Amino acid sequence: MMIQAETTGPLVRFVCATPGTRRPQRADRTATGILPARAAKYCDAVTSASAFGWYLFAPIDLSLLWDGSEIFWTHAGADGWSPLGSAQFPGFSQMFDEAAPSALVGCAPPFLTALPEPGVVQIWTGLFARSQPGWSLLLRPLVNAQLQGGFAPFEGLVETDRWFGPLFTNLRLTRTGSPIRLDANVPLIQAQPIPRPLYGRDLLDRMEVAAGLESFGPEEWEAYRASVVEPSARPARPFGEYATAARKERRCPIS
């Protein structure tokens, strides 16, 4: 199966709708610098996963407080804590109504919503997104990094090539009784481009499970020897051989 993107134009186009929102940025091979130095230098599997996608941020600094039953929220400039039902980004409703066609006046997306499930909050990143045909966005927790405490993002696949709307994510609050701060300058989630065929039933149903080492054929045994046994027999081998080979393959793929 050949998966291609158009050679012209961006794979994904993000629109920062809320003022002051930090722009998405390419994810970092060092997971924003928190990977152990040895992993960052030698473990291509970890660094490649860390760099896959873009970091998305909360549009403003805000704090959430969950008492085990009700959720409260506040932000810079707010007059204390407010119970959270559904809240608009400060000043965005008027901005939206001034820009939108008359038929869409009053239809600004909410910024924060307390969902029916206990301790679950939906937050808008302040972004809209449009991807190339056949490409979706996987919104997920940061890869190999947990930079902010007190919550855990859910994962979701959004088919942004045919659904144009606000990029939300759901957060499960994991702490009660003390404020949970979301810093607008610290990545909140990671967005990764996924071709739609990769998560379709036709492809995912093509899986089999073999039982026991007797299922290994000569090719598997030779591959195991080359990948594991032969390098282990060379104690003086340089660190990061896999990473070096993987980077070389990316530069000069075998046809």
Q: Percentage of the chain with pLDDT > 90?
A: 71
Gap between the Cα atoms of 96 and 47, Å rounded: 40
* Chain center to CA of 223: 33
Coil, helix or strand at residue 110? coil
Q: What distances in angstroms separate CA 26 from CA 32, 80, 125, 181, one per listed residue?
A: 10, 35, 16, 23
Q: Which residue has the higher pLDDT, 38 or 104?
A: 104
Lowest mean pLDDT among 30-34, 35-39, 108-112, 237-241: 237-241
In the predicted model, is pLDDT for residue 66 greater than 90? Answer: yes
Q: What pLDDT sits at residue 255?
A: 44
Lowest mean pLDDT among 144-148, 175-179, 244-248: 244-248
Taking the model in full, what pTM does it have? 0.84
Which tokens in the block code for residue 42?
């030698």
- In 3D space, the residue among 174, 170, 169, 176 whose CA is nearest the CA of residue 151 turns out to be 174
Residue entry with tokens 């919503």 = 113
pLDDT tens by residue, 1-25: 556 666 678 999 999 999 999 999 9
Q: Please give the mean pLDDT across all residues of the chain.
A: 90
Give the residue-averaged pLDDT of 189-212: 92
In the predicted model, is pLDDT for residue 241 greater than 50? Answer: yes
Find out whether 143 and 49 touch, Cβ atoms under 8 Å: yes
Q: What pLDDT sits at residue 127?
A: 97
Gap between the Cα atoms of 31 and 12, Å rounded: 21
pLDDT tens by residue, 20-36: 999 999 999 998 888 88
In the predicted model, is pLDDT for residue 117 greater than 90? Answer: yes
